[in-house]
Chain A
Amino acid sequence: MEWEVVIGLETHTQLQTKTKIFSGASTAFGSEPNTQACVVSLALPGVLPVLNREAVKCAIKFGLAVNAEIAPRSVFARKNYFYPDLPKGYQISQYELPVVGKGSMTIQVGAGDKAYEKVINITRAHLEEDAGKSVHGAQEGMSGIDLNRAGTPLLEIVTEPDMRSAAEAVAYAKKLHDLVQWIGICDGNMQEGSFRCDVNVSVRPKGTEKLGTRREIKNLNSFKFMQQAIEYETNWQIETLEDGGTIQQATVLFNPDTGETRAMRSKEEANDYRYFPDPDLLPLAISEADISTVKAEMPELPEAMKARFEAEYGLAHYDANALTSSRATADYFVATVNAGSDAKLAANWVMGSVSAKLNAEDKEISASPITPSDLASLIKRIQDGTISNNAAKQVFEAMWAGEGNADSIIESKGLKQVSDSGAIEAIVDEVIAANDTMVEEFKAGKEKAFNALVGQAMKASKGKANPAQVNEILKKKLGA
């Protein structure tokens, strides 16, 4: 039987605020344990939560970025469960009335001829607080609790079960990861847990409508692990069903060492959270004016920028897509163009040499040793014919290594293209004189011989002659 996998994602994005969602304690990462755990984080009796304006703004930004409905009135609810890193005995979250409603995002899957686009529907996004951290092994038989993270604002973004392969799920997660950083609501740091994905996976016979029983893979914090975990889980479910077994709804964990998923010990009645509206918090009202204010502060979104790159600069769809994959890349490209570079050449250099170098050295584009204006000054020398494309590559390498600016490197390495027609004519004359056979062959109608002669002339000029001029002069001399 042919099977179809159905995947939905829940992503916890940590919002980039200075303070916690319901208190004025700092959210800085990596501080000494419990030094950022105030009375609210500790849930001491009598304390009350007060909502952080900035966290609400982040939620509105996200809603605008995915064309979602932003609720004029949303409600905070208590999600009740007992765990030592949650001292209140409940997590403040949103349940029936989330701040962000239905929206959508377009993802690009695959590369080359097989690449395709797909719309992923967002069910909702809601504000909630993070829990603290348990540290094991501090003392025999005991667990240590650090409540610095307790109360950190999260936006949980939930999709419809719209993805049909691990590749689609990863493409969505990457796109979301890019987007939340683009609009500046999350730093995207997956090692520090700022962006964590739970993936719901189920399988069903291809062509059927009814969803299979799902298992939820918890807390994936790398795209590579996500791909591996989904592939393993999908195969496991298909094999189980083909062997006549059934799938039990469960929460599973991925073990990166074995590449396997395994069910967590099922906590009895774990899913009975008994949500109810939190009486400590009033409904959150968001007016049209609030939304307009945030809208005015929003950066140009990747989709809009992509369309602009295609229309304004004549870039191909694929190139425009690649350049808008992150805001840093897009900013770099735009700065290069604004510094006077031809847009198509800038696109080729940014996606080619620059990105290859960054990949090889595992650097972010913001850390590129070649600034956009450096790159523009190099491209301008290609545009005005000072250097050939090949020489430009050498100049680029030297600039990357910090040997100076484009002009000084062209000068010191003697890479300037010879465009003086007198000098080129002299070279061409020598080449014609020294290569009788080729000249004869060409005159006899062998086109290839012409290219060979151009090659000889280029070689004689040590690669510095302007190839277009060599072509032209050679043609004239041979009477072609």
Chain B
Amino acid sequence: MSLNSADIKRIAHLARIEVSDTEAEATLTKLTGILGLIEQMQAVDTKGIVPMSHSQDVTQRLRDDVVTETNQRELFQSIAPAVEGGLYLVPKVIE
């Protein structure tokens, strides 16, 4: 699989990261290298191996369904750029 700079721009856009054309070229080289490494690894037979979803072989601890959080709206909103009537204000979102 080979990438071109348009792919880099698209991936950057999806992640909302601004990359200049020069940066895109540099990133292209790095990502192509990583993909090359993955291609080499494809040669390994992984049949019957469960894909790893976490580095440690432990399972999720569960929490009891009890309210532990109190209302701290004022504190949290003290660092927000804009609030009104308890709402966080953001630039208008269109559907």
| Interfacial residues, chain A to chain B (CB-CB below 8 A) | 17-19, 23-26, 32-39, 42, 44, 50-56, 73, 75, 80, 82-84, 89, 96-97, 134-136, 138-139, 141-147, 264-265, 269, 272, 274, 277, 279, 281-285
Contact = CB atoms under 8 A, between A and B. Distances in A.
- A-B pairs, top 7 by smallest CB distance, nearest first, are A144-B87, A24-B68, A54-B65, A38-B69, A285-B59, A33-B86, A53-B62
Nearest to B72: A38
Interface in B42-81: 51, 53-54, 56, 58-69, 71-73, 76-77
A343 B12 CA distance: 68
A142 B86 contact: no
Nearest to A284: B60
A145 B90 contact: yes
Contact of B67 (A26, A144, A282): A26
A73 B56 CA distance: 14
B72 to A, nearest CB: 7
Given A42-B76, A142-B84, 10 more contacts: A18-B65, A19-B67, A24-B68, A34-B77, A44-B76, A55-B65, A83-B93, A141-B92, A145-B89, A146-B88
8 contacts: A24-B68, A25-B67, A33-B85, A39-B69, A80-B14, A142-B84, A282-B58, A285-B59
A285 B90 CA distance: 39
Given A33-B87, A35-B71, A283 B53 contact: yes
Contacts of A279: 54
Nearest to B62: A53
Contacts of A141: 91-92
B95 interface: yes
Contacts, number: 133
B89 A139 contact: yes
A53 B64 contact: yes
Contact of A34 (B10, B58, B76): B76
A51 B65 CA distance: 9
The residue in B58, B61, B69, B93 that gathers the most chain A C-beta atoms within 10 A of its C-beta is B69
Contacts of B89: 138-139, 142-145
Given A34-B87, A82-B16, A265-B95, A51 B60 contact: yes
A343 B61 CA distance: 48
B82 A282 contact: no
A56 B65 CA distance: 11
A80 B16 CA distance: 11
B15 to A, nearest CB: 8
Contact of B90 (A18, A19, A143, A277): A143
Nearest to B15: A80
Given A38-B72, A142-B92, A283 B66 contact: no
A46 B68 CA distance: 18
Contacts of A281: 60
Contact of A36 (B10, B59, B60, B71): B71
Contacts of A55: 65
Contact of B63 (A24, A136, A138): A24
A269 B56 CA distance: 34
A282 B66 CA distance: 21
